[in-house]
């Protein structure tokens, strides 16, 4: 296995933020970079208090939809991405030293409480009455209906990938999609702490699949690495996203998974890509085959997910979601809330992607940037 290190994606030691001097002075990203790269020493340094104040100010601007709110949202979510990567990234990295620091957890608390509250307010009209969410048949039907629904933008994006995207556009989509594809296994692992045996068993099956069912070279992360190599690509340490929505969708997994009180929301959020992504993966496969590739051989990651997720979605419902509702009916609304939050994140991504490729402007603009959608 040592000979295969070239295929392994090992997290960088440096914080996954732009280099010092590239972020606007006084921005959340700039202040966070100074804190993550700085020493751990009590009492906490003045810039650590300044960081939390800057985050709260940026959140005030962003959540009030003031002029410049998109820039504030990008600053906030890009910085939060670096926070979660400090939790999940290189154990010898500078950021890992701070995971118990007061400023680090104050940042997380403010970011998580305020962005989650805003998103929950946005999905409020998609949620059922609490008593409805205690019924197994209702919960099953809700997840299936929400995952099956495609709005106009969703369908336009999938049709574009399948029928019109150039190879360069597909390549940039695949490259930017990689950050979550490498972290999805971690999201599963974080969902594993025990609630009941059947749930642990089902998640273990999905983890076994992610690992290649015992064949290390068939692990999904390595399948994806080979997809990148087939296109002559690699992933930059810092994502190339210049929009807040891909960051926010990625962060949602770890916002939910890193807080035990949101455990059921995290499981509901994980259910949605298993149910929703089958058509997206099929569109990517069609697009690649349109350019002459043999998808089962050249892009096994997308080809296998197109088939595998068709099974995983129903298995997740029957083995995770419904047993929890049967054992703890009050968890039904939490699971549905997590599913609705994930659909909100995916819809935001599609709106961003549609604008990037010109679908929202009479289909006349060329593609400029692509982001992660799960």
The count of domains in the chain is 2
**d(Cα 188, Cα 273) in Å, to the nearest integer?**
12
- Residue 133 and residue 282 in one domain: yes
Residue 2, in any domain of the structure: no
Residue 180, in any domain of the structure: yes
User: Residues 315-371: pLDDT tens digits?
Assistant: 999 999 999 999 999 999 999 999 999 999 999 988 888 887 777 654 333 333 444
pTM of the model: 0.92
Q: What one-character DSSP code corresponds to residue 97? A: G
Residue 3, in any domain of the structure: no
Residue 4, in any domain of the structure: no
- Residue 112 and residue 147 in one domain: no
- Tokens standing for residue 33: 């970079």
- Residue 176 and residue 312 in one domain: yes
Confidence bin at 373 (pLDDT 50/70/90): very low
- Residue 94 and residue 163 in one domain: no
- Residue 268 and residue 226 in one domain: yes
- Residue 271 and residue 308 in one domain: yes
User: Residues 121-138: pLDDT tens digits?
Assistant: 999 999 999 999 999 999
- Say what the alpha-carbon torsion angle 158, 161, 162, 165 is, to the nearest 10 degrees: 150
| Whether 293 contacts 111, CB under 8 Å | no
**d(Cα 15, Cα 106) in Å, to the nearest integer?**
18
- Residue 117 and residue 158 in one domain: no
- Residue 182 and residue 95 in one domain: no
Domain that holds residue 112: 9-122
Residue 350, in any domain of the structure: yes
At 307, which CATH number? 1.20.910.10
- Residue 73 and residue 209 in one domain: no
- Residue 220 and residue 335 in one domain: yes
- Residue 109 and residue 228 in one domain: no
Run of H or E including 314: helix 300-316
The per-residue pLDDT for 66 is: 74
User: Residues 17-75: pLDDT tens digits?
Assistant: 999 999 999 999 999 999 999 888 665 666 678 999 999 999 999 998 777 799 999 99
Start-to-end Cα distance in the chain = 30
Residue 234, in any domain of the structure: yes
């Amino acid at each position: 296995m040592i000979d295969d290190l070239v295929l392994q994606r090992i997290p960088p030691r440096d914080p996954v933020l732009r280099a010092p001097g590239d972020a606007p002075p006084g921005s959340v990203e700039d202040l966070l970079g100074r804190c993550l790269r700085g020493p751990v020493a009590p009492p906490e340094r003045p810039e650590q208090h300044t960081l939390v104040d800057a985050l709260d100010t940026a959140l005030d601007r962003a959540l009030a939809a003031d002029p410049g709110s998109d820039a504030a949202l990008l600053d906030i979510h890009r910085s939060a991405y670096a926070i979660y990567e400090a939790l999940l990234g290189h154990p010898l990295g500078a950021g890992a030293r701070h995971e118990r620091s007061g400023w680090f957890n104050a940042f997380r608390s403010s970011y998580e409480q305020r962005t989650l509250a805003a998103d929950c307010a946005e999905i409020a009209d998609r949620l059922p009455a609490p008593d409805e969410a205690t019924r197994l048949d209702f919960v099953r039907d809700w997840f299936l209906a929400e995952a099956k629904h495609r709005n106009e933008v969703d369908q336009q994006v999938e049709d574009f990938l399948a029928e019109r995207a150039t190879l360069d556009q597909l390549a940039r989509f695949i490259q930017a999609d990689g950050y979550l594809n490498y972290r999805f296994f971690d999201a599963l692992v974080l969902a594993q702490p025990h609630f009941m045996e059947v749930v642990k068993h089902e998640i273990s099956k999905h983890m076994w699949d992610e690992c290649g069912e015992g064949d290390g070279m068939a692990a999904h992360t390595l399948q994806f690495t080979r997809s990148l190599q087939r296109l002559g690509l690699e992933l930059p340490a810092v994502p190339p996203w210049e929009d807040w929505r891909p960051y926010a969708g990625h962060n949602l997994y770890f916002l939910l998974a890193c807080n035990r009180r949101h455990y059921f929301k995290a499981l509901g959020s994980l259910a949605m890509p298993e149910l929703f992504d089958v058509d997206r993966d099929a569109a990517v496969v069609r697009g690649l085959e349109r350019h002459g590739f043999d998808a089962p051989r050249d892009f096994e990651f997308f080809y296998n997910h197109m088939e595998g997720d068709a099974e995983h979605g129903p298995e997740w419902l029957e083995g995770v979601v419904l047993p929890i509702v049967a054992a703890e009916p009050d968890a039904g609304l939490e699971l549905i809330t997590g599913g609705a939050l994930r659909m909100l994140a995916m819809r935001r991504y599609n709106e961003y992607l549609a604008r990037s490729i010109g679908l929202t402007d009479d289909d006349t603009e060329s593609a400029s940037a692509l982001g992660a959608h799960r």
